Structure 1
Amino acid sequence: MVLDNLGHTKLINKDTANVKSNLIKALKIRTAIEDNSGIIVNKLHLANYYVALKDTTTAIDYAKQANTLATRIKNTRDILSSLLILSKIDKNNTNLHFNKYLALNNDLETNERQIKNTFARIRFETDEYIEKTKRLTLKNTILIISAFAFIAILSLLYFLKLQRAKNKQLILEAQQQQANEDIYKLMLNQQTKLEEGRIKERNRISEELHDGVLGKIFGTRMGLGFLNIQGDAEMKKKHLSYIDELQDIEKEIRTISHDLKNEVLLKKQEYSELLKTLIKTQSDISNFTFILENNATNYLNETTDTIKINFYRIVQESLLNITKHAHANAVHIYINFDNGIINCTIQDDGVGFKSKKVNKGIGLSNIASRVEVLNGKYSIESSRAKGTKLTILIPFKTKTHESH
């Protein structure tokens, strides 16, 4: 790449000394390692070199070779570049090459607009779904408050009339019990509908992220990777860092896309193996080593689905926080069962923070919310340059508890 770029830069500056030797040497190296994308760029630079020497025949030959290889590996950017060069130098076929260039360029612009429209639709529908969920939550809250108020009124009337109508006590208690059961059934049915809608939406968003947004980001990263950035070393370093950051975003979107569909698997696979797979996958993505000590395998497999799902998400959220903020090299996850309590400790050797001054972001808020749902407790210990330790305590319940 250095030899190729050196020769091309000198050619741009109209300095033809050693240009051909640098370009030919670079082409041989890239051919030896089968770097097809590099070979295409090399041949396009050689075509420009022979154009500068007014050797049109050789220039056309290199441009056609580049076009053939770019077409074979479906490298759209270089297909366009080769067609543009051919349209300028192949006088006998100028219109043919230029029409192909225009047709391909128009197709790319059309696809790009479609991807943008798809992403805008995803964002709009997501916002619409969130707003609908808020309204539904408010409606449920009002319904529950009204129901409890109704029960309170019945209870008050019951106690006021107790002295005069003791014989109605059993009837009123039966009515109260029936009201409670109706309220619970209503809440359960509503929760089921919400869950079904959420799963469908997650699957749809997962597919859109994976098939639409991820492809767009990948194309953008590839395009940036082949840009010939002019400037000082700092500018080129920033260019490379932005490309690396796009690649990290691709990995994160791919992980999010896959994780959006994982929840239903909690009921179909060995739960402890799912946890191990989650941790290993995140360690591969974030490049940290991990030690998993799970002494509560049987208890986790026998516990309720509610605990399984929320505990899985707590571990997942903790690992994502480590990836985003801790920059850790090693993570130790310890799970134990003691006196009816599932005890989980997640400790990393990352940069840490002052735990007294930490702001609750979305990640920590999600963890706190899920622990609260399970009637558990959690604590965070951290200090600068000494890592972070998250401890979670969750009361154990079996599936018989959930069914009752």
Structure 2
Amino acid sequence: MKVLRILVLMILFFSTKTFSQSIEDIISETKLKFQNETETELKAKLSADLAWYYVQVNIDSAKFYGEKSLSLSKLSKNQTLIAQSYNDLATVYFVKGDYKKSLAFTDESLKLRKLLNDEAGIASLYFKKGNAYNKMSKYDSTMYYYFKANKYYESVGDSAVFMNLESNISSTYFSMGNYSKALKYLSKPLKYYKDTKQFLLLSNSTMNLGNIQLSLKDTINALQSFNKAIDYAEQSNNFSTLASTYNNIANIYTAQNKFELASQFIEKSIEIREKMGLDADLESSKLTLANNELRIGNYNEAKKRYLSVKSAFEKNNSKDKLREIYLGLSYIYASEKKADSLSYYHKKYLEVLNTIYKDETLKASQEIEVKYQTEKKEREILLQKAKIAEKNTIIISVISLLLLSVLLGYFLYSKQKMKTVQLLKERELQDALLKIETQNKLQEQRLQISRDLHDNIGSQLTFIISSIDNLKFALGNQNPKIDEKLTNISSFTRETIVELRDTIWAMNKEEITVEDLETRISNFIENAKISLSGTQFIFSSNLKSTQLKPFSSRDGMNIYRIIQESVNNAIKHAKATKIEVMIQELENQICIEIIDNGSGFNLQETEKGNGLNSIEKRASELNSKLTVKSDSNGTNITLDLKKELL
């Protein structure tokens, strides 16, 4: 039972609509055993089992027995039982949609699992943390914990959980917009679940396949995959996935302007999620239905639905959802010509956009400033004390000279002088500690800002792309000029997301190692290969990373941007069919060459654009030598950097 339990824990998708008689029988039998049992440890285990079974049936009952299990486990002082109780409660709150509480219980369980050296338990908790961060759209943390768990399950040869992790990694890559990697990681789980007839897991993976196909504009295959997912979900009573699939099909029909059909599928999704008590997903489905009613033009119905879910998202402070609600209500009140309501919700909409970073960033900056000013005043007081002490030394020395002798006076002066030196040393030590602490605070702030950029700006840009795509579907081919402009905006936004990720990558590091830089360049080249199948890309490097000093984050980013800009210029302007990037370590320098066989340009006659100006500016900041050669046979850009050894 424990092996199955760990596996299902990783999945966290349960049935809701037609519950098998066996689950009800198991719950009844377990409740009877629980009522008749007197030993604390056994009652704790039985209540933990009840929490687990009820997760598939009723979340409130699962929460009740999960809390009962934790209370009894603490009475028994059995650390393994306590860890399991925290684990079960984490599962309950995950399914309920309270991901912060789920993470809190996961961390409590993780502390105990580490003390018990329970590697399998630790790996399962890493998996659980990855799932929670995935739901919160914090994809860096998601991938970190998924790969930590993946390493363990691969090492012990646990194919079942390993395949489930591969499927989740695929889903995360999909959320990040990397569809090629999403398909790559999904292929093995799909085959494995089909061969082993694990229809519950197969339904999840098939639904994910449909999502990827839909994002690649392959609507026909996406609908086929969703219909297969429905069949697999019904065979395995996996109604959580069934509800999600209904919701996805509804989105397709909405984009095709088949609004009545779309509403039917959304309502099916809502019916399942209401029965199961999946609060977070349920409110999201209701919001989807409200958006659909708005597109149809049923403003009264849309307004009712927006207002019915507004309080739930305001309570959770879900900014992305609130943005949709406030924007939708603004449209409705504008159509009703209710200026006050329009003004109110439009203002709320702008507030949501403007407060994503403002409060936290300002607070962090103020805390650092207050701390710095306080320490500065303490240093000034210490310095004044040192000066006063030194003056007292002189006075004491004179008095001692008169009363005792020159020798005794000198001795006292020297002794006091040592105290002064000690005070000054203490001041220097405090200065050093303050500098370190300030640097740490600034680094923490930089990391916080980079996380905010990723989680908030990134999600906003993704929402913009989704909104543009929906608008294009809604407009159809009515106005080619508008369609072209929307396509240009969407492409520009996607490029902005890529540049944002590169900036976050540099912000998260104080310094960039040779391995970091080579990996980043390699990933960029690989992505370019995928996007442009007709162009040949070559990347080579002979840097000896163990001997070279890391680059500063600014220098590393400048090197990467020079290569990126050069390659992009070769693709967009020179129409090159072969592009080569070489990094060579010479005797006293590092040489970076970007060579293409494009049409080239005349350096004397061509006016420098933003791309070439940007390359020259970054090369200047690197204190490097930049050489650009170009003719009708292609372009060669060379960057010579001074080599710094460890």
Normalised to the residue count of structure 1, the TM-score between the two structures is: 0.55
Matches within 5 A, 1:3-402: 31-34=223-226, 37=248, 39-42=250-253, 45-46=257-258, 48=260, 63-69=263-269, 74=284, 78-82=288-292, 98-104=303-309, 107=322, 108-109=325-326, 113-118=351-356, 199-227=443-471, 228-229=474-475, 231-264=478-511, 266=513, 271=514, 273-286=515-528, 287=531, 290-295=537-542, 297-298=543-544, 300-306=545-551, 312-322=556-566, 324-327=568-571, 330-349=578-597, 352-356=600-604, 357-358=607-608, 361-370=613-622, 372=623, 376-383=624-631, 387-399=634-646
Distance in 1 separating the partners of 2:443 and 2:361 = 17
Structure 1: runs of 5 or more not aligned = 1-26, 49-58, 133-184, 400-404
> Which whole-Å CA distance do the structure 2 matches of 1:214 and 1:191 have between them?
33
1:379 CA displacement: 1.5
AA of the residue aligned to 1:229? L
Amino acid at match of 1:116: N
For residues 191-215 of structure 1, the C-alpha deviation after alignment (integer angstroms, 9 at most, x for no partner) is 9899767644542332121011111
TM-fit CA distance, 1:314:
4.1
- Once the two structures are TM-superposed, the CA of residue 257 in structure 1 deviates from its matched residue by 1.9
Q: What SS is found at the alignment partner of 1:118?
A: coil
Higher mean C-alpha displacement, 245-254 vs 359-368: 359-368
Q: 1:78 to 1:310 in 2, by over 3 A?
A: closer
Offset, 1:377: 2.3
Assess if the C-alpha contact under 8 Å between 1:378 and 1:391 holds in 2: yes
Q: Which amino acid aligns with 1:100?
A: R
Tell me the CA shift for residue 386 of structure 1: 5.0
Moved more, 107-116 or 219-228: 107-116
TM-score, normalised via structure 2 length: 0.36
Say if 1:206 and 1:257, in contact at 8 Å, map to a contact too: yes
Q: Relative contact order: is structure 1 or structure 2 higher (C-alpha 8 Å, sep ≥ 6)?
A: 1
Cα distance in 2 for residues equivalent to 1:29 and 1:293? 39
The question of whether the paired residues in 1 share the 8 Å contact of 2:619 and 2:625 is answered with no
CA distance in 2, matches of 1:78, 1:120: 29
Change (3 A) 1:252 1:351: farther
Change in Cα spacing, 1:118 to 1:256, as seen in structure 2 (3 Å) is: same
Offset of residue 249 of structure 1: 2.1
Q: 2:616, 2:263 → 1: CA distance? A: 56
Say whether the 8 Å CA contact 2:266–2:285 is kept in structure 1. Answer: no
- Name the aligned partner's letter for residue 628 of structure 2: I
Percent identical: 13
Amino acid aligned to 1:317: R
Question: Match of 2:451, SS?
Answer: helix
224 and 88 in structure 1: CA distance in 2 versus 1, 3 angstrom threshold: closer
Do the aligned partners of 2:589 and 2:643 also contact (CA within 8 Å) in 1?
yes
Q: CA deviation at 1:312?
A: 3.4
CA gap of 1:194–1:398, structure 2 versus 1, over 3 A, is farther
How big is each residue's C-alpha offset from its partner over 1:263-318, in whole Å with a ceiling of 9 and x where there is no partner?
A: 5452xxxx3x33331112212444465323323x33x5313345x76763343021
Q: What is the SS of the residue equivalent to 1:343? A: strand
Change in Cα spacing, 1:243 to 1:77, as seen in structure 2 (3 Å) is farther
**Alignment length (residue pairs):** 285
**CA, structure 1 residues 75+112, in 2 after alignment: closer, same or farther (shift >3 Å)?**
farther
Give the aligned CA root-mean-square deviation in angstroms.
4.6
3-state SS of paired residue (2:355): helix
Amino acid across the alignment from 1:332: E
How many Å separate the matches in 2 of 1:31 and 1:349? 43
In 1, Cα distance between equivalents of 2:435 and 2:601 = 38
Change (3 A) 1:204 1:246: same
Judge conservation of contact 1:348–1:389 (CA < 8 Å) in 2: yes
Q: Secondary structure at the match of 1:222?
A: helix
The residue matched to 1:388 in structure 2 has which SS?
A: strand
- Taking the aligned partners of 2:444 and 2:599, their CA distance within structure 1 comes to 38
Q: Letter of the 2:596 partner, please give it.
A: D
In structure 2, list runs of 5 or more residues that go unmatched: 1-218, 227-244, 274-280, 312-321, 327-347, 370-427
Q: Distance in 1 between matches of 2:554 and 2:303?
A: 58
* CA distance, structure 1, for counterparts of residue 546 and residue 629 of structure 2: 29
